[in-house]
Amino acid sequence: MPQGQDPLSLPKVDYQEILRDVARSMVRLKRPERLLKLITRFIDRTFGLSHTALLILDQKNDRYVFVNSRGAKRLPVGLVKFDSDHPLIQWFCGARKKLSFQKDFLFLSDVKKMLSRAEFRLATNSKGSHLTGIQKAMQNLNIELVIPGYFKETPVGLLMLGGRRNGRHFSKQEVVFFQTLANDCSMAIKTAEYNQSLIAQNRELEKRLKEIETMRHKEQRTYYEIMRSLAEEVHAKEPNIYGHISEVERLGLMTAREMGMELTGPGKDVLSAALILHDVGKIGIPDSILTKPGPLADDEWKIMKTHVEKGAKILEPLTDFKKVREIILAHHERYDGGGYPQGLRGDEIPIEARILSVVDSFHAIVSSRCYRGGRSMEEAFQELQNGAGAQFDPIAVDSFIRIMKKEMHKKGVGSMPFLLENGLS
């Protein structure tokens, strides 16, 4: 304490600066508890009160609880609880207006004055008992002044101040200052509550979105499995083309790897699904055409060619399969632009479709069909090479033949083991 200062005098308070500090803290602090503690500590130190306390609305339990208590007459936090029908709470919820009490704060001295008036002293009605309840509560808590902080007409907190240790009364300016602080506290509490509820809502939303996403993946997986079964069913109808789907998948992945394509994660899944489902549209082709034991007539070819568009259409519900649909739609395009359905050429055709075209044709060539016998691997290689640059992407053909020959050399056999297994050598 500076020399010569009256021990009972108080430091000069710059109210505006303090209120600006509080406003800044409200923005910075995510949790209001710290701000409320800072405010009560500040009041306790600056004004030298016997008791400074904050009572805050616990909306969930519809009651008000002590969250901070300082000074010589302080009470354990959490011990004091007022239900929302407590006379003191009711007073600030509107009861004071019925008694034509205009002030938006309450001194214990005002309560005593009102009770000393004959009409209340003699009253046995609710007005008298109401004020008696307030007087009792304030005296028990050693409180001289109660100032509410409002949010939309509801008292969110009560700033409760005991008497000054030096016996001085509160000035009008000080009461206005306390009122502003009490309202700032209420605003900080409501802002924090709002932020908390936003965070909780966001968490709930994220949880729901995850559940929906999981459900969607599950449904898509089920649909994919159904499509795979359909594709297998279609090929089962075509005579003597054993294991077409799994062989096309294996040969296609092998060729893609040989071409240096990155085959991990979604890239592999897309290529794999396209290789497996490429002819699923044949489910919409009449059996009379699909299983015809001999070359197709022109009008039958026309119908057969529609299987690429039918396949893309069937896969529309699989929203993650956009790229797969593009590959399937292009698997009968020719490198020279003479294919169907769009007449794409060269790099316009997805690389996966160019690979699919090579391995699909290879497997068809070496397979035995009713109307012609299956041909040897060397004949198949020759036919692919003849079509390189016309029907097929020459790089895809070279890569396919190279990897096949490497594998054959490694195994030391004249044909691929899987073809042997299927009796197709």
Residues lying near Fe ion in the complex (CB under 5 A) are found at: 279
Instruction: Find the shortest distance in angstroms from Cβ 364 to Fe ion.
Output: 9
Q: Which is nearer to Fe ion, 190 or 331 (CB)?
A: 331
Residue 329 amino acid letter: L
| Secondary structure of residue 160 in the 3-state scheme | strand
Instruction: Find the shortest distance in angstroms from Cβ 287 to Fe ion.
Output: 16
Instruction: Find the shortest distance in angstroms from Cβ 422 to Fe ion.
Output: 20
Instruction: Find the shortest distance in angstroms from Cβ 404 to Fe ion.
Output: 21
Instruction: Find the shortest distance in angstroms from Cβ 304 to Fe ion.
Output: 9
Instruction: Find the shortest distance in angstroms from Cβ 305 to Fe ion.
Output: 9
What is the CA angle 211-212-213, rounded to 5?
90
Edge-to-edge order in the sheet of strand 154-161: 81-83, 63-70, 52-58, 154-161, 145-151, 106-107
Two tokens, residue 110:
């005002």
Q: Which is nearer to Fe ion, 37 or 228 (CB)?
A: 228
User: Cβ neighbours of residue 198 under 8 Å, at least 6 residues apart?
Assistant: none
Residue 144 amino acid letter: E
Rounded Cα–Cα distance for residues 68 and 159 (Å) = 10
Two tokens, residue 48:
């030298």
Helix, strand, coil shares, percent, the chain, to 5: 60, 10, 30
Q: Which is nearer to Fe ion, 174 or 352 (CB)?
A: 352
Instruction: Find the shortest distance in angstroms from Cβ 413 to Fe ion.
Output: 29
Q: Which is nearer to Fe ion, 43 or 274 (CB)?
A: 274
Rounded Cα–Cα distance for residues 31 and 25 (Å) = 10
Rounded Cα–Cα distance for residues 82 and 55 (Å) = 9
H or E element in which residue 109 lies: helix 108-116
Rounded Cα–Cα distance for residues 192 and 194 (Å) = 5
Q: Which is nearer to Fe ion, 21 or 383 (CB)?
A: 383
Instruction: Find the shortest distance in angstroms from Cβ 281 to Fe ion.
Output: 8
Q: Which is nearer to Fe ion, 351 or 364 (CB)?
A: 364
Instruction: Find the shortest distance in angstroms from Cβ 324 to Fe ion.
Output: 14
Rounded Cα–Cα distance for residues 281 and 306 (Å) = 8
Question: Looking at beta carbons, which residue is closest to Fe ion?
Answer: 279
For 154, phi then psi, to 5°, come to -100, 130
Q: Which is nearer to Fe ion, 87 or 252 (CB)?
A: 252
User: Cβ neighbours of residue 226 under 8 Å, at least 6 residues apart?
Assistant: none
Q: Which is nearer to Fe ion, 130 or 278 (CB)?
A: 278
Sequential DSSP letters for 242-258: TTHHHHHHHHHHHHHHH
Contact in structure between 82 and 174 (CB atoms under 8 Å): no
The bridge status of strand 52-58 relative to strand 81-83 is: unpaired
Q: Which is nearer to Fe ion, 44 or 279 (CB)?
A: 279
